[in-house]
Each structure stands twice: as C-alpha cells, then as structure tokens.
Amino acid sequence: MSNAGCVAKLCGRALSAGDLERIRQAVREADPPQRAEIARRVCAALDWVDVQGRPKLMSARVGLLRLHRAGLIELPAPRNGNGNGRVLRTEGLALPEPPAQPLIGTVGDLRGLHLEAVADKSASRLWNGLIARWHYLGYQPLPGAQLRYLIRCEAGLLGAIGFGAAAWKVAARDAWIGWDHPTREAHLGRVLNNARFLILPWVQVKNLASRVLALAAARVVVDFPARYGEPLALLETFVEAPRYRGTCYRAANWRYLGETRGRGKLDRHRRAALPRKAVFVLPLREDFRRLLGVGR
C-alpha cells in the first residue's frame, strides 16, 4: 500500500481513509461487541495475515488500541480489564519458598537445565507470580507478541524469563541498525525485547544467567516463527544503570550500544527523570539487517 492518502498507522502499516472506514465498520458490526472479535474482523477486512496465512491478531489488537487512544476509533471497554494497574491474583498459587540452604555451585553442576515454555494457564500463573514476588520491576502483562519460559533443572525451579514486543523508539538501537522511520515501522515486529529475567534469589550458581540467555536465544529463534509466522532478527534488552551492569548479557555475547535518555514513553514534554538504562542487543542471524530492511 502506498503512503499516499495515509491517515494513520496500524503497527507500522499505513492506513488509507478507506482502511480506517473498514476498521470503523468492523467496530460497529462486531458481534459480540468485544475487542477480540473486532481484531478478527479487522484482520479479515484488511487481509492482515502472517507469512503462514494466519491473522495477526496480537498486532491488530495493539494497533487498534493505539487508534482508540488517538481518538480515531472508539473501542468497547475491555471485557476483563486491560491489565494496567490490576492486582495479580495469587490465591491458591504454590510459589516456591526459599530453602534452608541456597543452591550454590557452577552451571556445569546442574543436571537437566532447560527452559519450559509457558503453554497453559497454570504455567502462566506461576510465571506471573514469580515475577510479581521476586523481580524488582514487578509484574505487568508483556506487550504484543510474546514468549515466556520457566527455568528448570533436575533440582527444581530456578527462575523465569520473558520476551515481549520491542520498544517503539530507541535512539542507540535505531542508529546502530541504520533504520529510517518507515523502515523501523515496517520491520519492528522482527525484534523481541527481553522484558523480564529472574533467577530466584536463593539460586547462586555461577554462569547460570549467561547460560540461560544462550538457551533462550536458541529457543526464541525457533518458537517465535512457529507461533507468529515471522522470523526473528534481533533481541534487545534494557538494564537499569547503575543498579546493574549487564554482566550476564555481556558474557552471553550481547552487544552494548549505549544508554537511553531516561524518559518515559509518555514524556511528551521531555521532563521525565526516569532511570537511564543500558541498551543491549543480540543479533540472531548473520543477515539480521536484511531481515530488518537494511542492507543485503
């Protein structure tokens, strides 16, 4: 679709006035009048599918919410709340308790170290509970396309790691890739953000974190296209400085690109004073720039 006559964007996709009217029609005609049903209708109306022909429902829901917040459409209220600020329910959830003695040693001492994909409600509640209780940032629903894993070995549960949609704009990342604005919008879905990484506090195993990052990189490059129909080119993460140095990312061959400016996503007046974060990236294949629309 040409940008001529473009009136809005839907997750990097240019929308004409006709497209926007089709979206509004989907909102009016959705039965039941729910956001999930609207996303299904929009994907059908705009032929918005992945390379395997499956509707891009997650991207559609994210894009529709942006149009709603911009005042271009009016969505019905979320059926179960939108997750922002909600209290995580942990009743009946069996979270691990700190053992009498910490688990110590080196990663080579662990038998059966592996990542278990979060694939059902029980595993999802456990992952959420672990992050809520022990991660310094707490629990928030991961945005957009996502993959979550529990970290396990024969000795038991060791932690959790999760990936969600990439940050919309990051000056250091975008300059390093060589993106211009339209190219970033078109290819951002091939970057995944390591939004949460937790090793349980009583697990004191040398080199475990960097080994988990290596296992995760090998998993997501297979699991993401299987789930979403798109290849992955790059991983990114943000490490709060000076709280952390990103040692495990460096040990796992992630590349340090610089620091963010310490502004929030909604800081329109550029007055926020949030912690600066170190930006790290990990290319997942040699031709990652080609997949991101830059170079050959």
Residue 3: per-residue pLDDT: 43
Residue 161: per-residue pLDDT: 98
Asked if residue 75 lies in contact with residue 68, where contact means CB atoms within 8 angstroms, the answer is: yes
Q: CB neighbours (10 Å) of residue 79?
A: 11
Mean pLDDT, residues 264-285: 71
Residue 291: per-residue pLDDT: 93
220-229 confidence digits (pLDDT tens): 999 999 988 8
pLDDT beyond 60 at 143: yes
Residue 267: per-residue pLDDT: 42
Residue 174: burial class (beta carbons within 10 Å; 0-12, 13-18, 19+): middle
194: tokens are 């390591």
Pairing of the two strands 156-165 and 191-199? antiparallel
| Share of residues in the chain with pLDDT > 70 (%) | 85
85 or 118, which is more confident?
118
Kindly state the DSSP code that residue 202 receives in the 8-state scheme. Answer: T
Q: How confident is the model at residue 38 (pLDDT cuts 50, 70, 90)?
A: very high
Q: Convert 208-245 to b/e letters by CB count within 10 Å (16 or more is b).
A: bbbbbbebbbebbbebbbebbebebbbbbbbbeeeeee
Q: How confident is the model at residue 84 (pLDDT cuts 50, 70, 90)?
A: very low
Longest dimension (CA), the chain: 66
Positive/negative CA dihedral, 40, 46, 48, 51: positive
pLDDT beyond 60 at 296: yes
The domains located in the chain, with CATH, are: 6-69 (no CATH), 103-291 (3.40.630.30)
Q: How many CA atoms lie within 13 A of 8 on its CB side?
A: 19
Task: Supply the pTM of this predicted model.
Answer: 0.75
Residue 44: per-residue pLDDT: 92
Asked if residue 189 lies in contact with residue 12, where contact means CB atoms within 8 angstroms, the answer is: yes
Residue with tokens 């979550």: 148
Q: How confident is the model at residue 35 (pLDDT cuts 50, 70, 90)?
A: confident
Give the integer Cα–Cα distance in Å for 238 and 258: 10
